[in-house]
Amino acid sequence: MRIFKSAEEMQHWSLEQRISGQTIGLVPTMGYLHNGHLSLLNLARSECDIVVVSIFVNPTQFGFGEDFGKYPRDEEGDSSMCNEYGVDALFIPDADEMYASDASVYVEENSLSNGLCGVLRPGHFTGVCTVVAKLFNIVLPHKSIFGQKDYQQAVVIQRMIRDLNFPVELKVAPIVREQDGVALSSRNVYLSEDERERAHTISVSLEMVHEKFFAGEVDAKVLKELIVENLQEASLDIDYVEIVDGALLTPVESVDMGDVVLIAAYCGKTRLIDNCIF
Amino acid sequence: MRIFKSAEEMQHWSLEQRISGQTIGLVPTMGYLHNGHLSLLNLARSECDIVVVSIFVNPTQFGFGEDFGKYPRDEEGDSSMCNEYGVDALFIPDADEMYASDASVYVEENSLSNGLCGVLRPGHFTGVCTVVAKLFNIVLPHKSIFGQKDYQQAVVIQRMIRDLNFPVELKVAPIVREQDGVALSSRNVYLSEDERERAHTISVSLEMVHEKFFAGEVDAKVLKELIVENLQEASLDIDYVEIVDGALLTPVESVDMGDVVLIAAYCGKTRLIDNCIF
C-alpha cells in the first residue's frame, strides 16, 4: 500500500494511474475506521481498479465548541486495517498540507445545506464541500463512496458534483449497524455504557416508523411524533426529527417511497445522527 | 474542429484525450474574439498537444445594470476564427447547459477578490471562480491560459487553483495592444470615435509611470497622482488607480519590481481596465 502525505505526490500518482487506464475509487474518511468504513472500501473495490482511502480530520467542518480536538484518531490502526483490506493508496495529509495559512477559496452550497444539520452547524457543509472538492482534485477519482449515515452530506456532495461538473460518480453505501441496530460511528466511542443503551432508541425509533409506514401510516407528523416520544423517553436531547424528500431534503407532509426520515440527537454530550429511507 | 455544446460530451472527449496521453490547453473566453485572444491560443498551442477554446458569456459574473445583455457576440465569426487557427475543440454551451435552474453551489474567493474590481462589482469574482471551476472540470485541461489584462482575475484564479488543488497550470499571456497602445478588449466596440481617442489616455498614463519608475520615482502616491491627473484631463471617470503587490494585490507605498499598477475607468458608459507590471 502506498502512503501519501503530500497532496502533490498523491495527485501525481493518481494522474499516472489514470493515464495507464486504471479507474480510481476514493473513500474519503476522518479515520478511526470501523466496519461502516470497510463496507465503503468493499464497494469501492467492486466498482474500481484502484482504491484510495483518505484520512483527514478536517478542521473546517467542525464548529466552535464541537469535538475537533478530541475526535478519535488512530493512524496506525487505520493504516494497517487499510493495508489488510488491500487498499492501494492511503492519503493522510496534515492540516498544513491541506490549508495554506492564507487560504481564501471555499465551495459553498446554499440550498440543501441550510436545513437539518446545517441549522446547528453553520459553516459545516462549506467545510465539507471545500475539503471534498480538494480531495476530488487531489485523488482524481472516477467514483467516490460516501456512507448513507451522513445522508445530507451525500446529497450536498451530489449537488456539488452536478453544479461544478466534477467528473466523479458518487456512490452511497448503506448504513452498517451493530447487532442491536445502532449505526456505526467513530463517535460511538464517546458513549458511556448507559448512553450506549439509550442511543439504541434512535435506531429502534427508525425501525418502528419504517414498519408503521409499510403498515399504511403516511402522515409525517404522526410518524415524527412517535419518534420524538421515544427519544424523549430515553432522555435524548433532540436536535431534529424530520421526514424529507430524498433528493431535495424538503419536509414532506405525506410520506412516500424514497422519502427519508432523519434524526439528530444528543446522547449526553455526544451528537448522534441516523436515518432511514422509506 | 470539434464543436461541443454539451458539457457531458465535452468532458467525455477530454477524458479520451487524456487517456491517449494528450495534454490539453484551455483558453476560456466570452467570445467576440480579437488578437488578444489569438495570443492566448498561440500560447496554448505552444504549451499543449490539444487546444480547447470555451466561449461562454457567463451571466453570473455580470452585476445588475452591467452589460450582460448587450455584451458583443459573434458565434459564427468566433467559430471560423478558431477553426482557422487550428483549435481542436470549441466548447460553446448555452446558459441552461451550464446552470441548472436550482444551482446552489458556488466557489468563493474572499481575500484577493475584495479590492479593485471587486469593490464596484460585488459577486463578480464568485461568478468567475464558479464558472472557471466548472470549465476546469468539464474540459480537464493540463494548462489554462488567461490574459494579463484581467490581472486581478488571473491572480484570483491562481489562488483558486492552489486552494482547491486543481491539477491545472495557469499561464498568463501579456496584454496585446493596438498600434497606439490601447489594450484590446471586446468592449472597445462600445466606444465612439471620441471615446476611443480619450481611452488612449489609459495606456499612455501607464507607459508614463512605467518610465518614471525606471527613471527612479518609486513613490506610489506620486505615480498614482500623475495617472489620475491624466485621466481626469481626458474626462475619464475613474473607478480606481492602484499600485499593488503583484501576488497579494495589497497596495504598496514604495514601488518595487513585480508590483502592478492597475486602472479601471469609465469612458462614457464603457468600463475599461488596463494594467502594467513594473
| β strands within chain B, DSSP E | 2-4, 24-29, 50-55, 89-91, 105-109, 143-147, 169-173, 237-244, 260-267, 270-277
- A161 and A200 together in one domain: no
- B192 and B130 together in one domain: no
pLDDT at B90: 98
Which structural domain, as residue segments, surrounds residue A200? 186-272
pLDDT at A252: 98
Do A134 and B21 lie within an 8 Å CB cutoff?
no
Position A180 in a domain: no
Position B38 in a domain: yes
Which chain A residues are within 8 Å of B108, Cβ to Cβ?
Answer: 105-108
Position A178 in a domain: no
Indicate if the alpha-carbon torsion angle A88, A94, A97, A98 is positive or negative: positive
* B37 assigned to active site: yes
Residues of chain A with pLDDT under 70: none
pLDDT at A3: 98
Position A277 in a domain: no
Chain A window 88-127: which residues touch B at a Cβ cutoff of 8 Å? 99-100, 102-112
- A122 and A16 together in one domain: yes
Measure the CA–CA gap between B30 and B117, rounded to whole angstroms. Answer: 18
CA atoms within 13 A on the CB side of A69: 3
- B205 and B167 together in one domain: no
Checking phi first, is residue A264 left (phi over 0); if not, alpha (psi -120 to 50) or beta? beta
Position A278 in a domain: no
Q: Which of A173, A199, A222 is the last residue of a domain?
A: A173
Any idea what the CATH number is for the domain that residue A218 is in?
3.30.1300.10
Position A84 in a domain: yes
Taking the CA of residue B21 and the nearest CA in chain A, the distance in Å comes to: 7
ipTM of the shown complex: 0.96
- A71 and A160 together in one domain: yes
Do A7 and B165 lie within an 8 Å CB cutoff?
yes
Identity of the residue in A7, A138, A163 whose CB atom sits nearest the CB atom of B104: A163
- A125 and A28 together in one domain: yes
Chain A window 172-231: which residues touch B at a Cβ cutoff of 8 Å? none
Q: Which of A140, A173, A206 is the last residue of a domain?
A: A173
pTM listed for this prediction: 0.97
Total of domains in chain B: 2
- B133 and B31 together in one domain: yes
- B131 and B38 together in one domain: yes
Cell 471617470 appears where? B237
Position B180 in a domain: no
- A221 and A167 together in one domain: no
> Which residues does A151 contact at the CB level (< 8 Å), separation at least 6?
A260, A262, A275
pLDDT at A110: 97
- A155 and A213 together in one domain: no
Mean pLDDT in residue range B221-237: 97
Do B106 and A108 lie within an 8 Å CB cutoff?
yes
Position B178 in a domain: no
Residue pair B13/B89 in contact (Cβ under 8 Å)? The answer is yes
- A169 and A191 together in one domain: no
Any idea what the CATH number is for the domain that residue B165 is in?
3.40.50.620
pLDDT at A158: 98
pLDDT at B64: 87
pLDDT at A64: 87
- A206 and A154 together in one domain: no
Q: Which of A141, A173, A205 is the last residue of a domain?
A: A173
B36 pLDDT more than 90: yes
State the average pLDDT for chain B: 97
Closest chain B CA to residue A23: B19
Mean pLDDT in residue range B41-47: 97
Do A107 and B110 lie within an 8 Å CB cutoff?
no
